[in-house]
């Protein structure tokens, strides 16, 4: 990597299933204020550029980019929106710093999904207008098909997927930002009403409102601003075709995660991810996705994730703790803010500020986010508290 | 800072109603751009694409849907979005990809298909306004731009006839553009006599509704020099977003563009833009906007722009040709694609490949700009050879 970049500020607000008392702009204002405070009390005038991540339909506003600057203190500043997961927003912010034109860049994202009365109808608008949308199915049917295919190809089991839910919801009990934490059993998950077979109610992460702002800075600025910088060692993102019938490795694969991981590892100089990554926050929008993504990210062999999970490898005390924060199944699903949530939890662990969830002696963590149904886009980032 | 060049460009025809799907339009522009520099998709490291509101295509997460049409599958693909300024900004976004050192070859693609909207794309602009304070008034874009046009004219004592001169200039230039959706020359009288949309905006003051796509290929210096003898360098980039509370601003001067342009000129080492720049492609969805933006770009003194226009200063053979492509008024306005079309024009003009549209005198430095959101954002790219 040609120029080192660090996370120097983190702020979040909300993390509630509904927030009738606040507009999303107020939520972002709170997150931004906390973030700037966290970065040593920086004034937004000193920030060079801003990147927001959002999608119009989720906000009920066309050209949602219009409403980005005011609550971030970014009026008359370079501001752009990435129509993608907020981890792609982090990638854009990182590239801006690496060009040398900017030194300090803020990335923001939010979810105000409680404003939506029918999320599935919005998600249906993301499916192909000619081939898929006319089927008038709940878009989660794609997740059902994927899960079926993944379980078949990898020889993983339904029960192993249930174990993911149990682990993440249990981990969430130690995280004050998590709202879907609970102690449940395999039967609770497998006997729950199926949504799109074999995907059941508990296999799907619940919606969540929240806003997150993260501040990145070049090495020189980071050293001035904070004594606990978290370095971005590598980042990678990839998109597979949106057509369900023409994905190169089939529906059971997560090729986007494989490609994103490979790029991030290459940039970070990681040759053996399983030995060099201490813990991972990996997308678990649906239970099977955690297993599928762990394999695609080369953190274990294909078809091994389920078995390793049963052996306790991915528990907080295991060899590779996964989603210690509770993940999306335990914390809640923040839509385009999903990526920043993963980065935030990873960075807090590396700072040693994860409270009851804190792991000991961690140096390098991986955050990975997927954009959800029906997309095939993912972003991976390797973070470390060592330069 | 790593040097980045444009090495290829491609454009579809701009039309009122394309039979191609949004993906197919993207494919055509992408293929043309790649062919123009002898590359194949396998050579491309990443795709930076742009498209304005999802509502036009009626597709949520439109970037994902367009990805394969743009060549962005099994590759790093990222969609950027700053409303109407997306077309020029996508090139800034692509510049970030290459100048950061992360990638060597980046494909920038912008697409817009506005004809899907029935009966008219203007309907979608009802949903861009603040849900509480503005939407209840049922404003649309013509309505707020009429306010801005009025304020600009009133500030300097300009007339509707003065504004129409810009429409005539750009539409005449556009007649020579092979992608243009127009065939006829117009006069100032035609503009003045056209139907009033929202006073003082008349129908011919406004660019049309269009479908189209545009693409450029960006390369890092060593790769660019290997690919072509005439790389067009990206010398400066700048972008700025103003407050969403547009009613709190004085609309006569685009201060967001002032800042964006100064940012780009500073990077390019340009001290006297009006003397140093040879070609200007200001964003011209409305005729008054071309003039308004020439002032914001520091290419014309405030309040003197009409005088310079009347003197032929901004004609194709003038000192500083304005919109030699024909701009949005003369070629068409498929929102994001229209901005990238301006970058394509600079690429062809600076390489001396603009054919009949070629600006005389061996131009060396050009600037393109796009504008959008609630009259609040501008992106600026300075290119040179």
Band (pLDDT 50/70/90 cuts) for residue B251 is very high
Q: What is the DSSP letter of B341?
A: H
Residue A109 has a pLDDT of 98
Q: How far apart are CA A203 and CA A351, in angstroms?
A: 31
Q: How far apart are CA A297 and CA A316, in angstroms?
A: 19
| CA distance readout (Å), B159 to A14, A316, B164, B303, B308 | 52, 72, 9, 12, 15
- Closest approach of chain A CAs to the CA of B233, in angstroms? 15
pLDDT, mean of residues B61-85 = 95
pLDDT, tens digit, for every residue of B231-247? Answer: 999 999 999 999 999 98
Residue B140 has a pLDDT of 87
Q: Angle, nearest 10°, between helix axes B86-99 and A86-99?
A: 70
pLDDT, mean of residues B48-63 = 93
Contact B67 A239 (CB under 8 A): yes
Q: What is the DSSP letter of A206?
A: P
* Partners of residue A237 in chain B, C-beta under 8 Å: 76-78
pLDDT, tens digit, for every residue of A290-307? Answer: 999 999 999 999 999 999
Contact A248 B74 (CB under 8 A): yes
Q: How far apart are CA B381 and CA B368, in angstroms?
A: 5
Contact B241 A61 (CB under 8 A): no
Residue A223 has a pLDDT of 96
Q: How far apart are CA B201 and CA B191, in angstroms?
A: 10
Residue A244 has a pLDDT of 86
- Closest approach of chain B CAs to the CA of A104, in angstroms? 15
DSSP per-residue codes, A42-76: --GGG--EEEEE--HHHHT-TTGGGGSHHHHT-TT
pLDDT, mean of residues B122-143 = 90
Chain B interface, best mutation among A28, A61, A65, A258, by max B CB count within 10 A:
A65
Q: CB neighbours (10 Å) of residue A241?
A: 18
| Among A261, A259, A257, A282, CA closest to A271 | A261
Say which of B61, B241, B243 has its CB closest to residue A375. B61
pLDDT, tens digit, for every residue of B281-294? Answer: 999 999 999 999 99
pLDDT, tens digit, for every residue of A136-167? Answer: 999 999 999 999 999 999 999 999 999 999 99
Band (pLDDT 50/70/90 cuts) for residue A60 is confident
Q: How far apart are CA A58 and CA A126, in angstroms?
A: 11
Looking at chain A, the whole-number percentage of residues with pLDDT higher than 70 is: 100
Return the residue of A nearest to B266 by Cα.
A101
Contact A129 B59 (CB under 8 A): yes
pLDDT, mean of residues B206-212 = 96
Looking at chain B, the whole-number percentage of residues with pLDDT higher than 90 is: 93
Q: How far apart are CA A315 and CA A294, in angstroms?
A: 14
Contact A99 B240 (CB under 8 A): no
pTM of the model as a whole: 0.97
Contact A77 B125 (CB under 8 A): no
Contact B60 A126 (CB under 8 A): yes
Chain B interface, best mutation among A1, A45, A66, by max B CB count within 10 A:
A66
Residue B87 has a pLDDT of 98
pLDDT, mean of residues A118-132 = 93
Band (pLDDT 50/70/90 cuts) for residue A1 is low
Band (pLDDT 50/70/90 cuts) for residue A278 is very high
Q: How far apart are CA A294 and CA A64, in angstroms?
A: 34
pLDDT, tens digit, for every residue of A319-349? Answer: 999 999 999 999 999 999 999 999 999 999 9
* Partners of residue A82 in chain B, C-beta under 8 Å: 78-81
| CA distance readout (Å), B359 to B170, B318, B349 | 14, 9, 7
Q: For residue B384, which phi and psi values (nearest 5 degrees)?
A: -155, 165
Helix (H) or strand (E) holding A387: none
Helix (H) or strand (E) holding A15: strand A5-16
Q: How much is the mean pLDDT over chain A?
A: 96
* Partners of residue A59 in chain B, C-beta under 8 Å: none
Band (pLDDT 50/70/90 cuts) for residue B152 is very high
In this structure, what token pair is assigned to residue B382?
């300075």
Band (pLDDT 50/70/90 cuts) for residue A247 is confident
Instruction: Say whether B311 sits in a helix, a strand or coil.
Output: coil
Q: How much is the mean pLDDT over chain B?
A: 96
Contact B77 A239 (CB under 8 A): yes
Return the residue of A nearest to B22 by Cα.
A129
Residue A198 has a pLDDT of 95
In this structure, what token pair is assigned to residue A124?
């249906």
Q: How far apart are CA A132 and CA A144, in angstroms?
A: 15
Domains of chain A with CATH codes: 5-117+208-225 (3.40.47.10)
Alpha helices for chain A (secondary structure H): 24-38, 56-59, 69-72, 86-99, 119-124, 141-154, 158-172, 186-190, 219-225, 255-268, 273-276, 287-296, 305-310, 327-331, 338-351
Say which of B68, B128, B241 has its CB closest to residue A74. B241
User: Are the C-beta atoms of residues A20 and A182 closer than 8 Å to each other?
Assistant: no
Contact B97 A95 (CB under 8 A): yes
Q: How far apart are CA B150 and CA B378, in angstroms?
A: 21
Query: How many Å from the N-terminal Cα to the C-terminal Cα in chain A?
Result: 12
How far is it between the farthest Cα atoms of chain A? 56
Q: CB neighbours (10 Å) of residue B152?
A: 23
Residue A209 has a pLDDT of 98
Say which of A63, A95, A371 has its CB closest to residue B102. A95
- Closest approach of chain B CAs to the CA of A16, in angstroms? 23
Q: For residue A100, which phi and psi values (nearest 5 degrees)?
A: 90, -10
Q: How far apart are CA A43 and CA B65, in angstroms?
A: 39
Contact A56 B65 (CB under 8 A): no
Say which of A69, A75, A240 has its CB closest to residue B74. A240
Contact A241 B73 (CB under 8 A): yes
**How many cross-chain Cβ pairs, A to B, lie less than 8 Å apart?**
193
Say which of B1, B61, B79 has its CB closest to residue A82. B79
Query: How many Å from the N-terminal Cα to the C-terminal Cα in chain B?
Result: 17
Say which of B73, B78, B96 has its CB closest to residue A237. B78
Judged on CB neighbours under 10 Å (0-12, 13-18, 19+), B1 is: exposed
- Closest approach of chain A CAs to the CA of B358, in angstroms? 33
Band (pLDDT 50/70/90 cuts) for residue B308 is very high
* Partners of residue B67 in chain A, C-beta under 8 Å: 239, 241-242, 377
Band (pLDDT 50/70/90 cuts) for residue A248 is confident
- Closest approach of chain B CAs to the CA of A126, in angstroms? 4
In this structure, what token pair is assigned to residue A297?
């990210």
Band (pLDDT 50/70/90 cuts) for residue A59 is confident
Contact B81 A78 (CB under 8 A): no
Q: How far apart are CA B23 and CA B2, in angstroms?
A: 32
Domains of chain B with CATH codes: 4-118+208-384 (3.40.47.10)
Band (pLDDT 50/70/90 cuts) for residue B114 is very high
* Partners of residue A58 in chain B, C-beta under 8 Å: 60
pLDDT, mean of residues B75-100 = 97
């Amino acid at each position: 990597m040609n120029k080192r970049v660090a996370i120097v500020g983190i702020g979040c607000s909300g993390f509630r299933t509904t927030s009738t008392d606040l507009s999303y702009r107020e939520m972002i204002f709170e997150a931004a204020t906390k973030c700037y405070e966290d970065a040593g009390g920086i004034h937004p005038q000193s920030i060079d550029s801003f990147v927001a991540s959002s999608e119009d339909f989720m906000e009920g506003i066309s050209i949602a980019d219009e409403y980005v600057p005011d609550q971030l203190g970014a009026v008359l500043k370079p501001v752009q929106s990435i129509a993608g997961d907020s981890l792609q927003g982090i990638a854009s912010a990182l590239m801006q710093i690496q060009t040398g034109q900017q030194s300090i860049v803020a990335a923001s994202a939010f979810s105000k999904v409680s404003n939506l009365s029918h999320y599935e109808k919005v998600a249906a608008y993301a499916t192909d207008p000619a081939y898929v949308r006319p089927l008038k199915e709940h878009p989660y049917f794609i997740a059902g098909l994927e899960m079926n295919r993944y379980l078949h190809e990898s020889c993983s089991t339904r029960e192993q997927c249930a174990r993911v839910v149990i682990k993440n919801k249990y981990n969430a009990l130690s995280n004050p930002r998590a709202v879907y934490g609970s102690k449940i059993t395999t039967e609770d998950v497998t006997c729950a009403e199926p949504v799109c077979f074999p995907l059941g109610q508990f296999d799907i992460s619940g919606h969540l409102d929240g806003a997150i702002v993260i501040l990145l800075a070049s090495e020189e600025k980071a050293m001035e601003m904070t004594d606990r910088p978290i370095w971005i060692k590598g980042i990678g993102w990839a998109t597979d075709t949106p057509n369900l019938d023409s994905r190169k490795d089939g529906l059971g694969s997560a090729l986007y995660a494989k490609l994103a991981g490979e790029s991030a590892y290459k940039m970070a100089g990681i040759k053996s991810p399983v030995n060099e990554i201490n813990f991972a926050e990996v997308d678990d929008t649906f239970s099977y996705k955690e297993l599928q993504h762990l394999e695609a990210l080369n953190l274990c062999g294909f078809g091994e994730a389920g078995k390793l999970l049963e052996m306790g490898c991915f528990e907080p005390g295991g060899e590779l703790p996964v989603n210690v924060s509770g993940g999306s199944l335990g914390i809640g699903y923040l839509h385009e803010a999903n990526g920043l949530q993963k980065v935030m939890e990873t960075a807090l662990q590396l700072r040693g500020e994860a409270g009851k969830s804190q792991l000991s002696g961690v140096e390098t963590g991986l955050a990975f986010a997927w954009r959800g149904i029906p997309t095939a886009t993912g972003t991976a980032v390797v973070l470390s508290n060592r330069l | 800072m790593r040097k980045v060049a444009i090495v290829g460009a491609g454009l579809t025809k701009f039309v009122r109603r394309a039979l191609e799907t949004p993906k197919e339009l993207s494919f055509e522009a992408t293929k043309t751009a790649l062919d123009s520099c002898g590359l194949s998709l396998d050579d491309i490291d990443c795709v930076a694409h742009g498209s304005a509101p999802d509502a036009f295509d009626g597709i949520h997460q439109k970037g994902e849907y367009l990805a394969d049409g743009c060549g962005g599958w099994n590759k790093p693909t990222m969609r950027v979005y700053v409303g109407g300024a997306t077309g020029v900004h996508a090139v800034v976004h692509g510049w970030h990809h290459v100048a950061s050192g992360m990638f060597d070859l980046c494909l920038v693609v912008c697409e817009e298909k506005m004809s899907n909207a029935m009966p008219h794309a203007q309907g979608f602009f009802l949903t861009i306004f603040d849900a509480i304070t503005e939407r209840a008034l049922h404003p649309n874009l013509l309505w707020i731009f009429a306010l801005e046009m009025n304020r600009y004219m009133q500030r300097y004592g300009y007339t509707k006839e003065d504004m129409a001169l810009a429409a005539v200039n750009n539409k005449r230039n556009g007649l020579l553009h092979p992608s243009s959706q127009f065939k006829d020359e117009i006069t100032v009288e035609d503009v003045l006599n056209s139907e009033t949309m929202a006073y003082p905006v008349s129908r011919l003051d406004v660019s049309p509704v269009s479908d189209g796509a545009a693409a450029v290929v960006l390369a890092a210096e060593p790769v660019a020099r290997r690919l072509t003898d005439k790389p067009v360098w990206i010398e400066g980039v700048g972008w700025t977003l103003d407050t969403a509370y547009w009613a709190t601003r004085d609309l006569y001067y685009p201060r967001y563009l002032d800042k964006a342009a100064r940012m780009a000129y500073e990077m390019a080492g340009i001290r006297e833009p009006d003397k140093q720049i040879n070609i200007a492609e200001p964003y011209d969805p409305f005729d008054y906007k071309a003039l308004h933006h020439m002032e914001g770009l520091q290419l014309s003194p405030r309040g003197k722009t009409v005088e310079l226009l009347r003197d032929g200063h901004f004609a194709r053979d003038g000192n500083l040709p304005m919109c030699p492509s024909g701009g949005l008024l003369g070629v068409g306005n498929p929102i994001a694609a229209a901005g990238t079309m301006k970058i394509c024009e600079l690429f062809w003009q600076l390489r001396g490949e603009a054919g009949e549209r070629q600006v005389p005198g061996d131009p060396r430095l050009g600037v393109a700009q796009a504008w959008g959101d609630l009259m609040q954002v501008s992106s600026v790219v300075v290119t040179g050879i």
